[in-house]
Structure 1
Amino acid sequence: MGYGVELPPYRAILVVDVKGFGGWRGRDHAELARLVPTVLRRAFAECGLGGEWDRAPLSVSTGDGWVLGVRSGLLPRLLNPVLPALQEVLSDGVRMRATVHIGPLTGGRAVEAGNGEARVQAHRLLDAGPVRALLDRSGPGTRVAAVVSERAYADAVVSGYAGDDPNLYVPVPVRVKSFAQTAYLRVPVPTGELLSHGFTRAAPSGVQSGRTARSRTS
């Protein structure tokens, strides 16, 4: 069967894209593409993480968004304070979906850098219906809607390292192509239907809230 190979470094992963990018005029696409890393860099700087942005092992454009891979210890800080900071620095009219995940990624600056199942999963999460619906069902004051992987939620939120109340995260079943797991929705500033009807129109069947799940295991 042969020998195993060395696992690539674990990275905390942040992926974002601009809502409705294709609906903007073609003349605006280049400006939007330049805006994405600018606002991300500013959000990191606002959180005292500008140096981490500059030395990120993975930092690449996706055309309408960005993929960032940083050292795994920064996972909690991607959730808090980076997501709320991103909400604050985005200008009127520009709204983003984001996903936070963690896993092994190949390194370096070559074409093959940043590959791995963890990156595929991060993009699957970003494409999931529940996180897309968050921006559709909220007003312009909600500029960031995030989906957090099950692993990232367990490692950073339930553990307490993110400093966030787990009840700020709403569990939802996610299925995109062959990828399926429970993920967690996080909206720093909910508006519109998110306030009146919640992050999901109905509680997902068979999915427990963070508080309920912890009370049964404590």
Structure 2
Amino acid sequence: MTRTTTELPPYRALLAVDIRDFSGTLGKDHARITDAVPTILRSAFQRCGLADAWAEKRFGFGTGDGYALGLPSAVLPFLLNPFLSALQEELLYRDEVDADPVPLRMRVSVHVGPVTDSGQGLLSEGSGTARIETHRLLDAAPVRELLNRSGPMTRVAAIVSARAYQDAVLSGYAADAPEHYVPAPVEVKKLVDTGYLRVPSPSGDLLRDGFLSRIADPAAAEDEARRGGEPDQPGDGPRNAYTFHGSGFVHGGTGDQYNRPDDLRP
């Protein structure tokens, strides 16, 4: 098969959100919630002084229980700081004003990469591997678990791609401390990577156990037994270790410890 070199599409900052437990809400409320999502996002952009960024979005699509949009790549740092905190505040504020039967809680994924953008408003806008990866990140188990293991006051749980984390956080452009992000393995279909978890307002088990579920590390258990102690059991306490399957990285202890990319190397 003959291959033809083509131009690379423009790089776009990509944001996708999903409503937690949308299928658990009453069917009569689905349309109202679906219509509300872009309004909530727009209000969150306005809340943190990014109204112009929302107005300049290159494309935006509803996904039934969520929304995905692309913006100029220069906006990427702002999607992390201050937007994530503003979205948390907006969802809490919405409870006071609209009194939703079920408080809305959102998973968020942030990525950056080349996607189609003709400027003509085509249905195909935003197509490309980066767009697929954005949605794969949104479906990753670690970010889903953040909302499962937190209390109702935690309205936003985000996962940031390694590329976006490198470009916006480690570079300093987001003015957000790297220690606020926790690396986690991502294995969704063909995507195997490391994502970075960010929760603007953690609560519940996230405060007690950290952002990742406890998985007893067999090597740590054997070592404890050799030293005369009892092997660690899941949930026993600070001796438990996290095993990040798929990333080749093992972390002992608890809390939201940040590890530099160099620390992830074998």
The interval holding the TM-score normalised by the smaller chain is: over 0.9
Q: Which residue of 2 aligns with 1:194?
A: 206
- Flag the 1:47–1:26 CA change in 2: closer, same or farther, 3 A: same
TM norm structure 1: 0.94
What are the residue-to-residue correspondences of 1:153-172 with 2, within 5 Å?
153-172=165-184
Q: Distance in 1 between matches of 2:55 and 2:74?
A: 16
Are the counterparts in 1 of residues 179 and 258 from structure 2 also a CA contact under 8 Å?
yes
1:170 Cα shift? 0.4
Instruction: List runs of 5+ in structure 2 lacking aligned partners.
Output: 96-102, 215-241, 252-256
The count of residues paired between Structure 1 and Structure 2 equals 217
The CA deviation at 1:46 is 1.3
The CA RMSD over aligned residues, in Å, is 1.8
* Equivalence map 1:35-184=2 (5 Å): 35-90=36-91, 91-92=94-95, 93-107=103-117, 108=119, 109-184=121-196
1:212/1:78 Cα in 2 relative to 1: closer, same or farther (>3 Å)? closer
Q: Distance in 2 between matches of 1:216 and 1:67?
A: 30
Aligned-pair CA distance for 1:201: 2.2
Taking a change above 3 Å as real, the CA distance of residues 191 and 111 of structure 1, as seen in their structure-2 partners, is same
Q: Which runs of 4+ in 1 moved over 2 A?
A: 201-217
Worse-matched range after superposition: 9-18 or 46-55: 46-55
Cα–Cα, structure 1 residues 58 and 161, in superposed 2: closer, same or farther, change >3 Å? same
**Which residue identity lines up with residue 71 of structure 1 in the other structure?**
P
Residue 176 of structure 1 aligns to which amino acid in structure 2? V
Question: Could you tell me whether the CA contact under 8 Å between 1:17 and 1:96 is conserved in 2?
Answer: yes
Residues of 2 paired with 1:127 and 1:121: CA distance? Answer: 10
Distance 2:110 2:47 in 1: 19
**Rg larger for:** 2
Displacement of 1:211 in angstroms is 4.4
Tell me, what secondary structure is at the counterpart of 2:81?
Answer: helix
Secondary structure of 2:67 counterpart: strand
1:78–1:100 contact (8 Å) kept in structure 2:
yes
Percent of paired sites with the same residue: 53
Greater RCO, CA 8 A, separation 6+: 1
User: Offset of 1:210 from its aligned partner?
Assistant: 4.4
Letter in 2 for 1:14: L
C-alpha displacement at 1:113, in angstroms? 0.9
Match of 2:30 in 1: 29
Q: Mind listing any 5+ residue stretches in structure 1 that lack a counterpart?
A: none
Q: What is the CA distance between 1:34 and its match in structure 2?
A: 1.3
Output the TM-score relative to the length of structure 2: 0.78
Maintained 8 Å contact 2:180/2:258: no
Correspondence for 2:17: 16
